[in-house]
Amino acid sequence: MELTLSIAELTAVLNDLYHQGYPCFSLRYPLLDLDLATFDLDAADTVVRLTDRAEYQRRFEDLRSWFQEHDERYAIREIPDYTAYKTSLLQAGLIGYQNLDKVKTELLGTLTRNVLKGHPAAFVALDTNILRDRFFSTFVAQEAELKRKPLSFALTDIIRDELAFTYKYNERDLSGLLSHPNLTHHRHLVEQFWNQNKLKDRLQRLGHLEFIKIQSSMNFHLCGPTQGMDPAASADMRIIQSYQNFATTYRHVLLLSRDFDFIAISEGRPGIEPLMAELPRDVLPRGTIGWESLGELIYIWAVVFGCVELVAADNRVLRFFGLWKGKEPTHWNEELVGLEIDGLNLSAALRDIHICRRLGAIGGL
């Protein structure tokens, strides 16, 4: 890979593009030949226009039909559908839960409990889907009130086990994707996926990274497995039971999930207060985004889609890879993207990044 960048370093790339006279560009998913969004950096707040839902679904269904007709039906599993696209906006923090205000109120409410006044200690517990949504990175770690007084978290190692990522692309998987005539000219991109995590496992890995981030926070408790539970019990039941065992007269658990059945099973259990996080019903086609958040979006789309292309007005291209040959666990843990430059001059950005890295290295001595 030509270069790997952190999310923060992507801002230097955007700055360089802007000063070179490229205030407008699109981010394209090459395997669907579709612009995921277009951006205008000239506005006071960067304007983002998202792709049309109907057009996304049409292109996805065309691809699905072809793969099914040609007995490559497993290949379509590696192309994110519109639901995955919509969820990626949530994972990048571009959109929030439908009832985000209520969720925020309940989270802040846990901070008002005072054990010195006889209140049980309050903990926030999360379901697997909330970790995959990157709720900690995009909301909790960014919210000013929660920075001043951090939340106390409880997570169960049953969820950590659920967030396994073991399936990787092999030659057969890649040849299945490349069997489509419109995808053969993307061979260079697809071959970068070899021996890297498949789509479902990439989403699992995003959740696993959230688990590690929360575990590294100051106020964290790890709930162990439940002794004596029927091994045939569902994963949801084992997760809930683990949290219920942690909840006592002296502990109150606010349990966040966006799974209706999970919430229903959690209701009425002593010490547990289930809270439903509702996915947004609709995505507005136009909005604004900060430059730092744009870097977050590029990172998430690179991971979810494997590769996205930044296409400038004169069709010059930057390719951001979330998967590449030789990507290692440290690249995942540091949330790096691979960069391939095709026609654009990023010498100013690369110089700034090099200086910042040198200063960081010196500062760490």
Cβ atoms of 295 and 277 within 8 Å: the answer is no
- DSSP helix/strand/coil, 172: helix
d(CA 101, CA 111): 16
d(CA 199, CA 88): 12
d(CA 324, CA 339): 10
d(CA 151, CA 140): 9
Residue 112 scores a pLDDT above 90: no
Residue 307 scores a pLDDT above 70: yes
pLDDT tens-place string over residues 148-203:
888 999 999 999 999 999 999 999 999 999 999 989 999 999 999 999 999 999 99
pLDDT tens-place string over residues 122-135:
999 999 999 999 99
Residue 119 scores a pLDDT above 90: no
d(CA 104, CA 118): 24
More confident position, 300 or 281: 300
Residue 29 scores a pLDDT above 50: yes
d(CA 226, CA 245): 7
Distance of CA 269 to the CA centre of its chain: 31
Q: What is the pLDDT at residue 365?
A: 38
d(CA 139, CA 280): 15
- What is the token pair recorded at 215? 């575990």
| Nearest in space to 137 (alpha carbons), one of 7, 272, 290 | 7
Q: What is the pLDDT at residue 362?
A: 53
Walk me through the domains of the chain, giving residue ranges and CATH numbers: 3-66+291-363 (no CATH), 100-165+201-276 (3.40.50.1010)
Residue 44 scores a pLDDT above 80: no
Residue 16 scores a pLDDT above 90: yes
The residue type at 364: G
**Section 345-364 average pLDDT:** 81
pLDDT tens-place string over residues 199-225:
999 999 999 999 999 999 878 999 977
Residue 363 scores a pLDDT above 50: no
Q: Which long-range contacts (CB under 8 A, 24 or more apart) does 304-307 make?
A: 304/80, 304/84, 304/88, 304/91, 304/199, 304/202, 304/203, 305/29, 305/31, 305/36, 305/80, 306/31, 306/189, 306/190, 306/192, 306/193, 307/30, 307/189, 307/192
Q: What is the pLDDT at residue 20?
A: 92
Share of the chain above pLDDT 70, in %: 98
List, in sequence order, every beta strand (DSSP E) within the chain. 3-5, 24-29, 34-40, 46-50, 121-126, 153-156, 220-223, 251-257, 272-276, 286-289, 307-312, 317-321, 337-342
d(CA 196, CA 219): 33
- DSSP helix/strand/coil, 71: coil
- Pick the range with the lowest mean pLDDT from 29-38, 76-85, 220-229, 251-260: 220-229
Q: What is the pLDDT at residue 364?
A: 43
Residue 290 scores a pLDDT above 50: yes
**To the nearest whole number, what is the mean pLDDT of the chain?**
91
Q: What is the pLDDT at residue 1?
A: 60
